[in-house]
Amino acid sequence: MATGTCNESAGDISHLKKQLAVARNEIHNLRQQIKALGHNHQKEVERIQNMLDSWQCRSCTSSTVPTRIPEDGVSLRPIGVISTWFPEKKGVPRQPGICVNSQGKLALFNSVFTNPEHALEGLEGFSHMWILYHFHKNDSSHVRAKVSPPRLNGARTGVFGTRSPHRPSPIGLSLVAINRVEGSSVYFCGVDMVDGTPVLDIKPYIPQYDNPLHCRSSNLRLLDGREAEEPMGTSPGDAVTCTAQPARPESRIGEREAPDGEEGAQPSVVPPVGTQSERTQVRIPSWITQPPVCKLNVTFNDRAKAQLENIERETQNGENLEASIRSILQEDPRSVYMRERWGNQFYTFLICNLHVSCKFDDSAHTVAVFQVKSAGKLCECGQPEWQCSAHGES
């Protein structure tokens, strides 16, 4: 009798558990349906709101362009952030090819992808990549139709004929060399961005598609599925090298500077390549190859050399830093405004947590580096070491 009662109780418990599981499953389904209905409701509200905002009477509709552009612009979501040697705009190279030793790191956000490292699979097979990013430190109150590129030495030209960062849409573009891909980060060299720059997108560099001088230099399939002709002297499997200069908007350097760029007005023609039927002419402004301003001669005094030697012993990176400092200064990082307003004044900038102090001599086309000190160290008097003249090295 007791055994039968126990069996009935066990059966009831099992039945109740099954019913509870069914109830939980139904509750879960109802929650999902409510959530979906909420999303659909929100979409309908947004659609109706957009219709109300864009509604026009017949007379207005007939007199306007059919396609309406949102007045509030287009919203872009950063996918990651760049870490570089340059914490501020002052001293940042204007092109990625100027300071090839400068190192950078691009870290993807895990809020965009659940597993951001999956999005980088395959990128390690490329030597270079394009980085599209936002000029987040542009503080211009308005955009001008014409700008004054530093290397044009004060001449003005249209903003869309330049690489000035002061544009209606402040988007930067840099071609950089990939060092390695680790997890959700990409390490690269050839930096021309400020530390903390938001990244909008990255794309691998493919010379067969991106460089017009090499657009026929591959036996790979073209984007539209056609076979590309095999170039003379190239066999299947041969690597295709590219010597084209990286393209990228310049970084605005210093405070109260006039807009800058990297362009000119007189076009020059690169000799055509390929057969008669495939020849491609690439035109660039003549002052890109023959600028009206020359490169500067960079010198380091004895104190600066000794400081760099100490840095090299401490960090094993002094040699690269010296080359980077030299490459930045020989291209004159000052804007036209700074050259004209404070021609032969002292100039300082930060690189790799170091404070570099130098002095320009525009008449001799030289710049002398006289101090390289840590930007974070404090002197015994409490001032930053690089600002103190009463203590430390003479």
Q: Is 107 exposed, middle or buried (0-12, 13-18, 19+ CB in 10 A)?
A: middle
Structural domain count, the chain: 3
Q: How far apart are the C-alpha atoms of 206 and 208, rounded to whole Å?
A: 6
Of 62, 90, 114, which one is at a domain's C-terminal end? 62
**Residue 72 forms part of a structural domain:** no
Enter the DSSP assignment of 221. Answer: B
Per-residue burial over 345-358, b if 16 or more Cβ lie within 10 Å, else e, is: eebebbbbebbbbb
Enter the DSSP assignment of 161. Answer: G
Residues 96 and 129 in one domain: yes
Tell me the CATH number at 332. 3.30.2310.20
Q: How far apart are the C-alpha atoms of 33 and 39, rounded to whole Å?
A: 10
**Residue 23 forms part of a structural domain:** yes
**Residue 109 forms part of a structural domain:** yes
**Residue 153 forms part of a structural domain:** yes
Residues 128 and 226 in one domain: yes
pTM: 0.58
Residues 194 and 114 in one domain: yes
Return the structure tokens found at 284: 């660039």
Beta-carbon count within 10 A of 329 CB? 25
Residues 41 and 102 in one domain: no
**Residue 379 forms part of a structural domain:** no
Residues 47 and 113 in one domain: no
Residues 102 and 35 in one domain: no
Q: Is 27 exposed, middle or buried (0-12, 13-18, 19+ CB in 10 A)?
A: exposed
Residues 52 and 89 in one domain: no
**Residue 346 forms part of a structural domain:** yes
**Residue 35 forms part of a structural domain:** yes
Give the pLDDT score at 343. Answer: 72
Tell me the CATH number at 210. 2.40.30.70
Give the pLDDT score at 37. Answer: 87
**Residue 142 forms part of a structural domain:** yes
Going across the sheet that includes 346-351, the strands are: 297-300, 366-374, 354-361, 346-351
Spatial contact of 144 and 133, defined as CB atoms under 8 Å apart:
no
Q: How far apart are the C-alpha atoms of 106 and 348, rounded to whole Å?
A: 26
Residues 177 and 251 in one domain: yes
What do you get for the CA distance between the two ends of the chain, in Å?
105
Which ranges of the chain would DSSP assign to H, the alpha helix? 2-54, 58-62, 116-119, 207-210, 286-289, 302-315, 318-330, 336-341
Helix 318-330, helix 302-315: angle, nearest 10: 130
Residues 42 and 174 in one domain: no
pLDDT tens for the chain, 394 residues long, are: 556 666 777 778 888 888 898 899 889 888 888 988 888 888 888 888 888 877 777 666 555 444 555 566 778 889 999 999 888 888 888 888 887 888 899 999 998 888 999 999 989 889 999 999 999 888 776 778 888 887 787 788 898 888 888 888 889 999 999 999 999 999 999 888 999 999 999 999 988 888 877 655 444 444 444 444 444 334 433 444 444 444 343 333 333 344 444 433 344 555 554 444 444 566 667 766 677 778 899 999 999 999 888 888 877 665 578 888 998 898 888 888 888 877 777 888 888 888 899 999 888 889 999 999 887 777 666 666 666 655 555 4
Domain that holds residue 351: 297-374
Residues 126 and 256 in one domain: yes
Residues 189 and 305 in one domain: no
Residues 50 and 194 in one domain: no
